[in-house]
Amino acid sequence: MKVLLFGPELYFLGMALVLFILSLRRQVNIRIDHQVALGFAAGGVVVASACLFQQGELFFAAYRVDLFSQIFKVALALGLFLVLMISHNLAHIDDRYHAEFYLFLTTCTLGLMMLVSAVELLTIYVSLELSSYSLYILVPLRRGDDMDIEAGVKYLFIGAVSSCFMLFGLSYIFGATHSTYVNEVMAKMPELVQSPIGIMGLLLTLAGFFFKLSVFPFHFWAPDVYQGAANQVTTFIATVSKAAAVAVLLRLVALGEVYGFGFTQALWILSIVSMTLGNLVAIVQKDFKRMLAYSSIAHAGYVLMGILTLSEAGYTAAIYYAVAYLIMNFTCFMVISEVANDGRNLQIVELAGLYHRNPLLGLALMLGLFALAGVPPSIGFTGKLLVFTSAMKEGYFWLVLVGAVNGTISLYYYLKVVYAAYFLEGKELPAVHIGLSTRALSYALILIIIGFGVFPDRVVELARVAVKGVLL
């Protein structure tokens, strides 16, 4: 029953089909759309969890199922489920497009799932494009002003150029090694990094993932897309697709044991520039989503820091950080989509007085932001600690120093939001009412942010085991 290894992907393919049928109906019922999508997504979490400990290879060894990929599949399924949970009012998307919205989210998740398992260059490329194309459609799906169109075009163009880079790079690698299997390519890596063709090939290939991760200089889409897309779409881009990008980048980098000094130094520079640029520009933003876009550029720099150490501890830290980032970022976006329940873009000042308009959301927002800033004892602090420690162990003192300074800078703009929520009186602003599910979700997120920040060992251990599997 080898096909069971493909279980989660098949399940989401089926889910996409069901949603496709729903989207063909003439009579639109947005409640049913949402309930079906949410129910299937919940099932997806169960299926992905059930397949957690599967191992094997598929499709002529182009596709590898191991603990590493399965952990990320659970995370992706969970991410989709969470995003759908806050999609109960899609005020800025036309009613008749709701089913399509769910459909493309599902195909995107499917693409990301394949991405984390793919170990062949073309499979990787196709999976990446599957997820990207879904997002290209989702971003301009918003109704109203033309901002979404601008964002969509920008996203498409930058994505297309990045894909060009990547394909170009892949062609170089194929030309140099005569293979598209990652493990075969990486076996030849020592000679490869000596030759110009190999270096350019690798660099250009990484561009595709840097685009997903919004690492400098592929970050230009992030602010506009974050701001222009509907809140829920932004949430998905900011959380789920980021986690998958980290996973595949990790798998690629981890497979090659030797890169040489120059290559890590290039990553080093990109990491520093990413976090510094992201944090500095985030300071002056007034739109909350745009601010989070810049913050995501900065966080990409932190993740890169873990990856470029090329050590087991660094990879473990990067995985932990990616998962933690998913959770804490999601918390902030949940608050955005609940407070801006008509689907508008949320200015930071609109959070004024959140502590009395909805104390629970206020608390969740505060903890989420503290986690993003890395304040103990939150999950974000533990993540930063792990990343910095691993980098320090490998002797990247200056990198850690810049990271720490950046952490301080970021604290400023995160606290600005907390300040707005807790110290500005929002007397004239209406109270925010949330449903039972959001309430439960808030409690769960608060618990996770604090709980796994204080007792991170289980998650770290799981990440370590996964990394060990990849390194083999």
Partner 1 sequence: MSAWFSDLTLLGCFLCMVLPIASFGLIMIFTRNNHKLSLAISLLCSTIPLIIAWSLLYKYWDIAEPIVYNYDWILSDFIKIPFGFLLDPTSLLMLTIVATISWLVQIYSIGYMEGDPGFGNYYAFLSLFALSMLGVSISSGLLQLYICWELVGVSSYLLIGFWYEKFSASEAGKKAFVVTRFGDVGFFMGLAILTIFYGNLEIANINSAAVAQSMPPWLISTAALLIFCGVMGKSAQFPLHVWLPDAMEGPTPVSALLHSATMVAAGVFLIARIYPFFSASPEAMAVALAIGTITLLLSSTIGMVATDIKQVWAYSTVSQLGFMIMGLAAGSYFAGYFHLTTHAGFKALLFLCSGVFIHHFGTNDFFVMAAKGGRKLIIPMVTITIAALALSGIFPFSGFFSKEAILGALYHHPNKIWFLMGLLGAFLTAYYTFRVIFVMLFPKNPAPEEQHGHDEPHEEHYGVPWVMSIPLLVLATFTLILGFCQGYLERFLLGHTLHHEHNYLLLVSAVVAALSGIGLAWIDWGSKKAKCVGFISYVPALENFFKEKWYMDHFWRWFLNVFIYGTFSRLFTYNDRRVVDGGVDTVAFSTIGSGRLLSFFQTALLQLNLLFMVVVVAGVGLYLLIGR
409 binds partner 1 (CB under 8 A): yes
Is residue 418 within the footprint of partner 1 (CB under 8 A)? Answer: no
Return the residue of 80, 86, 116, 158 that touches partner 1, per CB under 8 A: 158
Please, which residue, 198 or 362, has the CB nearer to partner 1? 198
Establish if 265 lies at the interface with partner 1 (CB under 8 A).
yes
Distance CA 422, CA 431 (A): 14
Instruction: Report the residue number, 73 or 219, with the smaller CB distance to partner 1.
Output: 219
List the beta strands (DSSP E) in 54-174. 56-58, 63-65
The amino acid at 420: A
Least Cβ distance, residue 228 to partner 1 (angstroms): 11
Are 126 and 190 within 8 A, CB to CB? no
Beta bridge partners of 64: 57
Query: In Å, what is the CA distance from 167 to each residue of 110, 125, 129, 431?
Result: 21, 8, 11, 51
- Write the binding mask 283 to 302 for partner 1: x where contact by CB under 8 A, - elsewhere: xxx-----------------
Structure tokens at 466: 């996964």
Stretch that binds partner 1, among 35-43, 47-55, 183-191, 203-211 (CB under 8 A): 203-211
Stretch that binds partner 1, among 54-62, 183-191, 274-282, 420-428 (CB under 8 A): 274-282
Interacting residues of 106 by C-beta distance below 8 A, sequence separation 6+:
12, 15, 16, 19, 37, 40, 41, 80
Least spacing, CB of residue 221 vs partner 1, in Å: 8
Rounded Cα–Cα distance for residues 391 and 373 (Å): 19
Radius of gyration of the chain, Cα coordinates, nearest whole angstrom: 21
- Select from 10, 251, 210, 313 the least CA-distant residue to 116: 251
- Taking the C-alpha atoms of residue 110 and residue 121, their distance in angstroms, rounded to an integer, is 18
Candidates 26, 262, 430, 457; binder of partner 1 (CB under 8 A) is 262
Kindly state the smallest distance separating residue 195's Cβ from partner 1, in Å: 9
CB of residue 187 to partner 1, shortest distance in Å: 21
Closer CB to partner 1, residue 55 or residue 194? 194
Query: Smallest distance from the beta carbon of 343 to partner 1, in angstroms?
Result: 23
Residues that bind partner 1 (CB under 8 A): 150, 153-154, 157-158, 161-162, 165, 194, 196, 199-200, 203-204, 207, 216-218, 220, 223-224, 260, 262-263, 265-266, 269-270, 277, 279-285, 409, 412
